[in-house]
Amino acid sequence: MFDVQLTRQRLTQQLHEPVDLPFVTDFCPQCQDMLPLFVSDELADQLVDSLYPDVAYHLDLCLNCQIEYEALSVMTSNALYSV
Amino acid sequence: MFIEEVGLTQEKTTYIVTQYMLGQGWGLISPALLAVQIWDDLQKRNVVQMANAQMLKTIVWQQYAVILHDACCMPHDDEQYQLAWHEFSVWLTKQAHQVTSHLQEQEDVVQETLIELQSKLRQKGLRAPRTLWAYALQTQRRKQIDMHRKRSAKKRGEDKIISLEAMGTDDADSRWEEKLAVSVTGLTALENNGVNRRGMENEMADQEIEEQLQMFFQQHLPTPLQRQVAAAFFLDGLAPKEIAALLGKKPHEIRLLKARVVKRLRNLSSLQRQELLQILGTAREVDNDV
């Protein structure tokens, strides 16, 4: 369960971000370096949105990192749970 | 949705751990020994009745990642070191089909990945060894992309980059959502999940805000799935894994769907966005008053 007020505050902040974000942002390399941690802990049922709020926030907005996140989530889940 | 039987015995734990480790090709520690350690830990934490096979697998891959990581960081002449890298190499080879179907390319990708991993682990290892599997798979994927780019450049005389932005178009979005075909049972469960909403002191005001948000989502989000996910996040305060469980999906699918909701809301006209901000602003004021 999330703090619904915090979730709404984040949405408010996201609505104030520029609409045309560049495809690659300054935070992308840092986000993608954090993805193994984010994906591993998400698979282990940790509340990653609270543990890594910057990554979760960025993933809502950045298509570039969403693509990396999706690929890594699928690969890791397949590798560790399809046995 | 498949509902797994919960509650474990020690025998069942040993069986699941052993089968899982055999399937993965992991043998640096005896499965029976690891199973005993895990069983003791589950008992200490008093979670045996809640545990299931999925949870056991998670515990095993987390613990085994640390074992393999530490063995890979040992002195080079150590027997465990040799065994660890051999095992890691076999595991990576098994996973290489996920990045390319070309056999020769799979071999090359594994070799390149192993070289990079050895260099990384020789320097200082990973900050969080439990992430070893995801880290290795990310490295493997990056190597494959690099190799593919180099080969394409060689073939065509120039590096052609596929436009990933194209994946963000509305057409691509709706195709992606079609793939996430909604389970009717899941949606009904989500609709009926009002009991999970967080209580607030100012219940009436909160209810009004929720109604406004719900109406806004109804008007401005194009698909039932987007509306359901928006409601689950911004009205019910559910986490991706909770929504995923209700819809019979994976958490990453829900997170990506939420990203599409956010994108849609950000792309509304300034007037519509202002309306939403006003509703959200009221919510914040109410929250501050409480």
Residue B143 half-sphere exposure toward CB, CA atoms < 13 A:
24
The number of distinct structural domains making up chain B is 2
Q: Which of B77, B74, B61 is nearest to B29 (CA)?
A: B61
Shared-domain flag, residues B147 and B237? no
Does the residue B48 lie in any domain? yes
Measured between beta carbons, which residues in chain A are less than 8 angstroms from residue B280? Answer: 8-9, 11-12, 15
Task: Specify if A9 maps to a domain.
Answer: no
What is the span of the domain harbouring residue B110?
Answer: 10-156
Asked whether B48 and B104 are in contact (CB, 8 A), the reply is no
pLDDT in tens, A1-54: 568 888 999 999 999 998 888 888 899 999 999 999 999 999 999 999 999 999
Residue A57 lies in a domain: yes
Q: CB distance B164–A7 less than 8 Å? A: no
- The structure tokens listed for A32 are 């993608």
**Could you give the number of structural domains in chain A?**
1
**ipTM score of complex:** 0.92
Chain B neighbors of A23, CB-CB under 8 A: 164-165
Q: Tell me the backbone φ, ψ of residue B186, rounded to 5 degrees.
A: -60, -45
Domain that holds residue A63: 25-81
**Which residues on chain A are in Cβ contact (under 8 Å) with B164?**
23, 63-64, 67
Between the alpha carbon of residue B246 and those of residues A24, B123, B187, B188, B217, the distances in Å are 33, 44, 7, 9, 20
- Fill in the DSSP letter of residue B160: P
Are B177 and B119 in a shared domain? no
* Residue B276: predicted pLDDT: 95
Q: Which of B99, B241, B265 sits opposite A45 (nearest CB)?
A: B241
Is A5 among the domain residues? no
In a domain, B4, yes or no: no
Contact B239 A49 (CB under 8 A): yes
Q: Which residues of B touch A65 (CB under 8 A)?
A: none
Instruction: Point out the domain boundary residue: B124, B156, B188.
Output: B156
The helix (H) or strand (E) run that includes residue B95 is helix B79-95
In degrees to the nearest 10, what's the CA dihedral of B264, B252, A68, A62? 20
- What is the Cα B42 distance to its own chain's centre? 24
CB B190 within 8 Å of CB B246:
yes
Residue A17 counted as domain residue = no
The series of mean pLDDT values per 10 residues for chain B, 290 residues long, is: 63 97 97 96 90 94 97 88 96 93 91 96 93 98 90 66 45 55 41 45 72 94 94 92 90 95 95 94 52
Q: What is the value of pTM for the model shown?
A: 0.82
Nearest CA in chain B to A43: B58
Residues B205 and B273 grouped into a single domain? yes
Residue B16 lies in a domain: yes
